[in-house]
Structure 1
Amino acid sequence: MPDDLNRLKKRVPHQASVSTILGPAAGFIDETLRTFGLPLFWPYDSLEAAVEVLLNSSDAVYRGQNVPYGDGKPVVLVPGHLGGDVTLAPLSMWLHAIGYRPAKSNILININDRSLDNPLTVASRGAALRIGRKTIMIAFDTGLRSALRVAEVEREYVSDVIALGLSDPMPAAPTGVRLHVIESARRASVAPDQRVNIVPGSRALLYVNPAAWRVLAGILREIPITLLDRS
């Protein structure tokens, strides 16, 4: 009996470590499938994305044409699943070119949206204090969850959240923070109670979708400037 107890004690830490590893791994796999779909369709989706990029490459929106010019609002970009500052660089440069002030989030890659909370808090608060206006957060798919969590806590520094692609499950918008949604037609039904700006094209390419950028520019310009309360 003592030998059996000793063997059991030796096995418990090993089983716990396996559970610790499999938990995050299972969550990561589930998040990836929710965001990108089944691997069976990835080759088709990749081909579709390549064609879409080619067809849209000459769109005038990339040159800042036919979009309202910005008014200097501070903006923080929030990457979606497996995205980071690098994937958002084209959008960041475009927003700067049309008159906004994008701030770096210093996020290498979004594997777990919980890990984004701290850098987004620092980025949104820093941008608002530097410019004297409340920040607008632009979030992609799973990054929306972090953006809404941060916006709820940092209402003093964040006025609006713009979602480009909704997370699944869809979180509720916190009181006092305006939520604007841009989504592809395939996923617009995820938020039936939310007004959704539907754009054509692949959901995975909302990062660089000219139709999404055009709608985004309109939303940004319509959001009223909110000065920080310095009292």
Structure 2
Amino acid sequence: MRLEDLPTSVLCEVLSRFEAQELMTLACTCKLFHQVATTDITDGFWMRLYKLHYGFDVEPDPECGWKGRYRDAFLRTKLIRQRSEQRRVTLIENQIKDIEREVRTLHEEALDLKHQVRSHASLYREIDRVKSAEVALKTWSPASVSARHKQVVEQTPVDKATRLCCVRQEIEVSKHLLKSVLLRLENKKRKLGALEETLTASRAR
């Protein structure tokens, strides 16, 4: 038996089992269902749906009937839902902008700290070279070499061991700060990725 062979009363009974959104989908995919949904479904079906979803207002409207009332209520609800979703999308977009700014700031901090580590390491090597020159100055060496060691030592009159200790501590502090910044940067990037996925999913609805 074909669908067209079924009596209209049976088709109406079948369609009455569906919610409005499902009914609209059937009406869009089947010409016969579209005809029945448009002309043959009784006003009682729309009254049932209206009271089910919008029972806060059950007074009949003689001008548009229950079908028209359901349509108007559905469109109002849809508009409210769309506005709510748009506010949600806007909130996510603002969160993304904030995190992008934080990511840029953390990236700049990481670059500065890397530069500090390199600078301190270079200073440490230079002081260590001076300290080695001091030791070499106390040992026998050709006059030209001794003169060079003496020049290096005289150019750096501070206590080398103390200075080396301070620079070493500065390097460790900078490395610790860098590790912390890189960890925060990674966390922000993960959060940014999650928000971007949520935003994409929201726009696809």
TM-score range, shorter chain: under 0.3
Greater RCO (CA < 8 Å, at least 6 residues apart) = 2
Length-normalised TM-score, structure 1: 0.22
Length-normalised TM-score, structure 2: 0.24
Q: Kindly indicate which of the two structures has a greater share of residues assigned to strand.
A: 1
**Higher Rg:** 2
